[in-house]
Amino acid sequence: MSSTNPVSSTSSETGLDVDEKSNVDSDQWNRIFDWIHCICVVTFDLELGQAMEEVYPPNVILTEEDKTNICYLAFPDSNSSCMGDTQFHIRIKQSSRASKLTQSHITYNNKCPVFLRINPHYYFGFVYFRQIKDQSIPRGYFQKSVIVISRLPFISLFTEVCSIIAPEYFDNGLKSIEAACHEINRWQAPMPGDSLKLPLFGHVIQSQIPRDFTVNNLSSSSISFSSYSVSTLYPSINDLNMFESLSSVISHIHILWELVLTGEPLVVLAPSPEYCSKLVQALVSMIFPLMYNADYRPYFTIHDSEFKDFMTKTRSPPSVILGVTNPFFGKTLQHWPHIIRLSENITTSKTVSVGKQKLRKSGSTTLFDAKTGVYTHYKPFLNKDKLVIRKLIKGLQMKRPSEVQSAILRRHLLELTQSFMIPLERYMSTLMPLKKNISPLKAAPHPLPFNPDDFIASLDISGPQLTSTIKGNWEGLYRKFFRSLNFSGWYHTRYQAMYKKLKALHLEALSHMNIQEWLQGKEEVEIVDMILKIKTKIDEIDGESLPLNEIIQIQLKNRLNDIILSLPDDLRNIINIS
């Protein structure tokens, strides 16, 4: 594949941000950006290399750096064996000029489970690559990709969307992408908890985005795709078939779970972007419902703008999971501490064999010639659950449906993650100040600081041994987790949620305050100061999505009016005007 810099050959002007486009265009495409950022077509030009042929809608911005990255990621690194159609997905770090989230995205983020939140610094891309012989083309091959770009982490959903749009485009050209965009522009906004019916080229994609994760209600995180009378059930809107992706290393799921949980650098060497992107996504999903807060790239190439940052040998590898296919990485990444190798003979979960644990030899330069396995010197803190592994391996040998295997695997990993996280959640609840100590006349209190030693001391009576049969050094695993981005991300999210709750409780206390008693002996300047503070707090309720019911909000406004009425007419008029 040529290493020539990708060049945009689209005839459409794409030099405006979403928030900079004309009012006419804003009105025309006011809904599509809730779902997708754009749809791109990348072709191979004999002189230019990969070239951006189309971007639709035509008023969307993609910076030159974004376009370059998309172009290189739109084709397999080595496509000699990728004849026919290939699907995979990518994750791209946006350039600094990236546009802001829509109001719909902000509302969505405030209501969705944390693991489904939009990260404003990244795009997801869903690629449908076609390569077929064509003697009318100088190179002898037709090579082109359709890529759906979205901020939403709905992996299964947009993989399906792309699989519907791309064949239509290859048959009917740009008018198919235009038609698809117009249909998507009519979709109702993605809102956690809503049941959706999304029409697209005669198909109806039925989905429900989970509002909250509930262990006893798995249907809340399910999605159903149907085209007339044909329905397919997907376990999640954001994950692919987990067992199918992990089957070749299924005997190592516990060590992989620890590596993902603690944010260790991990690289997946695979024969195609399809396999590496699925496996990387499966790895990230192993700690569900905990959000993976480190970086991950389901498919990464040597042409990526961040290639040098990830490949430097002068420091330890960053906390990232990379999926790669180019044999060059077999030498470049040999210093990485943890590597998963998928060999060329990997096909499906029904035919793959289960190998023994592989330990990567220092200085090895033949990782792309190595057998499928996990190459690491990592010593796990916990023991394996051999019963689950034997059950999965037996199911593989019996050719049990991969959907059933995935359900078994997901349940086990979910229970393992919950056993790990429940003691942390329980400890965090002890950091909340008591409601009775919240005074309406003082600022809202903050949660107490997290003390790792105090938490470890609590494990004897409330540790994971209460919910998990797995033995091992749980304390050591927790201490390693505390040094990871996953912990800092989780703690920041929980701290902010607790502080919002405390602010809501403070406002509730303020709404119940005896205003007449408080007004006694107060100077006008003190009263005006209280009015301004309450007005500010009322404005914060919607802006910060504080968990406050409407009754409390009404009572709070009534207290504000009571205070205003206590002022002289002239000062009251000034307050009302302001």
CB atoms < 10 A from the CB of 230, how many? 8
Sequence-separated (6 or more) residues with CB below 8 Å from residue 442: none
At residue 276, the pLDDT reads 94
The token pair at 434 is: 């008591």
Spell out where 57-156 has E strands.
84-93, 122-133, 141-150
Highest mean pLDDT among 29-33, 209-213, 243-247: 243-247
Mean pLDDT of 9-19: 37
Pick the range with the lowest mean pLDDT from 136-145, 428-437, 494-503, 515-524: 136-145
At residue 1, the pLDDT reads 39
State the pairing for strand pair 49-56/7-8: parallel
**Closest by CA position to 147, among listed 264, 261, 262, 52:** 52
At residue 332, the pLDDT reads 79
**Closest by CA position to 42, among listed 76, 13, 15:** 76
At residue 511, the pLDDT reads 86
| Residue with the larger pLDDT of the pair 220 and 254 | 254
pLDDT digits (tens, 9 = 90+) for 339-357: 999 877 664 433 344 445 4
Confidence of residue 16 (pLDDT cuts 50, 70, 90): very low
Highest mean pLDDT among 331-340, 480-489, 538-547: 480-489
| Residue with the larger pLDDT of the pair 45 and 557 | 557
Confidence of residue 435 (pLDDT cuts 50, 70, 90): confident
pLDDT at residue 232 greater than cutoff 70? no
pLDDT digits (tens, 9 = 90+) for 106-118: 889 988 888 899 9
At residue 366, the pLDDT reads 56
At residue 187, the pLDDT reads 93
Q: Is the dihedral of CA 238, 240, 241, 242 positive or negative?
A: negative
Pick the range with the lowest mean pLDDT from 132-141, 258-267, 435-444: 132-141
| Residue with the larger pLDDT of the pair 81 and 123 | 123
State the pairing for strand pair 49-56/38-45: antiparallel
pLDDT digits (tens, 9 = 90+) for 375-431: 998 999 999 999 999 999 999 889 899 889 999 999 999 999 999 999 999 999 999
Peptide bond into 58 cis (omega under 30): no
pLDDT digits (tens, 9 = 90+) for 39-63: 999 998 766 778 899 999 988 878 8
Q: Of all residues in the chain, what percent carry a pLDDT higher than 70?
A: 83
Mean pLDDT of 480-486: 97
One DSSP character per residue, 427-467 reads HHHTTSPPGGG--TTSPPPPPPPP-HHHHHHHHHHHSGGGT
pLDDT at residue 288 greater than cutoff 60? yes
Contact between residue 42 and residue 75 where contact means Cβ atoms under 8 Å apart: yes
Q: What is the pTM of this model?
A: 0.85
